[in-house]
Amino acid sequence: QVQLVESGGGLVQPGGSLRLSCAASGSIVSIGGMNWYRQAPGKERELVASITSRGGTNYADSVKGRFTISRDNAKNMVHLQMNSLKSEDTGVYYCNANIWTDMSRSGQFWGQGTLVTVSS
Can you give the pLDDT of all 120 residues of the chain as single tens digits?
899 999 999 999 999 999 999 999 999 999 999 999 999 989 999 999 999 999 999 999 999 999 999 999 999 999 999 999 999 999 999 999 999 999 899 999 999 999 999 999
In this prediction, residue 97 carries a pLDDT of 98
In this prediction, residue 1 carries a pLDDT of 87
Do the bridges between strand 114-118 and strand 10-12 make them parallel or antiparallel, or are there none, so unpaired? parallel
The answer to whether 108 and 94 have CB atoms below 8 angstroms apart is no
Residue 111, amino acid: G
11 closest CA partner among 83, 93, 115 = 115
Measure the CA–CA gap between 17 and 26, rounded to whole angstroms.
30
